[in-house]
Structure 1
């Protein structure tokens, strides 16, 4: 699984949210020393909603994320072009063996219940999220409406694009822990998982993915929350006291290029690789 970050407008240089065909090609396909594409690499690309929770406080931010994700020239459009090109190259080299398609996972930003601003309107009604204003029951219902609206829009747009080499495998829960901003936080995740699994349109079952930080709140009861696949971050890069062996779930690890050049951090990358080669 490869993680591709997208950001809100003005948050980072535009190019950080504009993944091109040339960016994706070496991620999903391998070329030998002769420059020939000889096999597939990453079979799954998970898009991420980068930035802080505050940057997704309004409906317009969610709409911008959808527009960025389904850009015809970049991001999903570019990923599909790269996959089609790779498939063509493999076929011409006699290397193709199956009907390979790249699996896509889309992000679900966190709907913050203590937001100080109204999220936006839906069906002509303003959605207030703060339980101190509308009560816990109404806050939960409005948050679930937002997730449902987002997922259904993403599914519709994915189908409309009619990608040649992409399949929508599911969605990723961006919040890396089960917070306590709301008394109904666990129920909110469970209801969101139900939407992913079934949805209001009878869509075939998709999966809900989660990558909590090391020993995050809620990681021990991830199945009860409705998650289908969970990968804990060791966070060893940030805290060398964390024990890699404690990550009893499937594990995802990340590292930055500076680890390779800064001597005092390079050993942590070595620790990752040594541990997972055992």
Structure 2
């Protein structure tokens, strides 16, 4: 994912409405409540966050929802979430994804939320805008909550309902950035590890505050996701962010790409919920054997797995066979029986599959949703 995960795969793998302020007072409270200066943060190189347990319930099936950049043309309203929340099978409403990861890689105006996506790094204002977008009425989390409420109240569902899990991404404080902004009247300098950590802690606390203020009834915040997919710029930082997150009772998620720098070090880095990207779907030159190798590595390194596809999965584009390959290999290696699974879908390819009238698309959609429904009964 530089501009898209397909491009990232090509370069790394083959060659090798902003919220109208949640009320101005809310932002003032958030800014004023953060009174931890960078000098207060003590770094211990031997710090070992307790990432040996789950702090919250971990979703079986976690779908990635990209939203927040001005370049996106998908409106994540209540209706758009409908196919992600349930599927009607034999006249019954069956619940689907139990986890939703909200993330974004760039703001669409020239600034990136992690290294390598844009020439300029996102600042505090972009970090704020990203979070506030997720808590805008009729969008993102509010829309998801409303759709779940509609299903639970108006339709008999075939299984006991449990709150759907929400994970929010944490932007990378890009090394050496000087123009991020201020905390406690101090300009942050991201050549300083203390300032990088302070910015992340501020962001996490603001996210937590917004979530609590919303008082959602059908979704719960269970963790935070580290946006950068390699350890290159975070080896000396991630475990301190992890420690902060764990003390708040949340989990710390990470999804490194195939052969990513540090993927085998995920425990040492501090994460406790990790999924591995096979990076098979995006380029037809990537061999089938890479899918199998990814599953083997996940087993050896105690990681979960990610299914990957985008709009090319539709029959009119001819790449549905590659998603079927994921389903075949994951079934063969017991992934669907024993591991948590994340689902990368490009923009909204799952939605497009669900709406397609093409029989090939319907067959693939039904195969995928039947797997998810079965896993939701575990």
* TM-score of the pair, normalised by structure 1: 0.83
- Matching residue of 1:66: 131
Q: Are 1:164 and 2:217 counterparts? A: yes
1:270 CA displacement: 3.0
- CA separation of 1:24/1:262 partners in 2, compared to 1, >3 Å: closer, same or farther? closer
| Residue 96 of structure 2, aligned match among 36, 41, 60 | 41
| Residue 245 of structure 2, aligned match among 189, 196, 211 | 196
Q: What is the distance in 2 between the residues matched to 1:99 and 1:152?
A: 29
1:152 CA displacement: 0.4
- Matching residue of 1:261: 316
- Matching residue of 1:29: 86
- Matching residue of 2:24: none
* More displaced 10-residue stretch of structure 1: 140-149 or 250-259: 250-259
| Residue 106 of structure 1, aligned match among 164, 168, 171 | 168
What whole-Å deviation, never above 9, does each CA across 1:107-152 have from its counterpart, x for those lacking one? 111110133x4210111111111x3xxxxxxx10000001000000
- Matching residue of 1:134: none
Contact 1:8–1:61 (Cα < 8 Å) also in 2: no
Determine helix, strand or coil for the equivalent of 1:277.
helix
1:24 CA displacement: 1.0
- Matching residue of 1:84: 149
For 1:1-278, list aligned pairs within 5 A. 1-9=62-70, 12-13=71-72, 15-16=73-74, 18-32=75-89, 34=91, 38-51=93-106, 52=112, 53=114, 54=118, 56-90=121-155, 93=156, 95=157, 97-115=159-177, 117-129=178-190, 131=191, 139-180=192-233, 185-198=234-247, 203=248, 205-237=249-281, 238=283, 239-241=285-287, 243-247=290-294, 248=298, 249-259=303-313, 260-263=315-318, 265-278=319-332
Determine helix, strand or coil for the equivalent of 2:236.
helix
Determine helix, strand or coil for the equivalent of 2:308.
coil
1:186 CA displacement: 1.4
* TM-score of the pair, normalised by structure 2: 0.62
Task: Please tell me the root mean square deviation across aligned C-alpha atoms, in Å.
Answer: 1.9
Q: What is the distance in 1 between the residues matched to 2:153 and 2:227?
A: 34
Q: What is the distance in 2 between the residues matched to 1:24 and 1:267?
A: 25
What whole-Å deviation, never above 9, does each CA across 1:144-164 have from its counterpart, x for those lacking one? 001000000000110111001
Unmatched segments (≥5 aa) in structure 1:
132-138
Q: Which has the higher contact order (CA 8 A, sep 6+)?
A: 2
Q: What is the distance in 2 between the residues matched to 1:261 and 1:99?
A: 36
Contact 1:234–1:244 (Cα < 8 Å) also in 2: yes
Q: What is the distance in 1 between the residues matched to 2:316 and 2:307?
A: 18
1:89 CA displacement: 2.2
- Matching residue of 1:136: none
Contact 1:28–1:41 (Cα < 8 Å) also in 2: yes
Contact 2:95–2:159 (Cα < 8 Å) also in 1: no
Unmatched segments (≥5 aa) in structure 2:
1-61, 107-111, 333-378
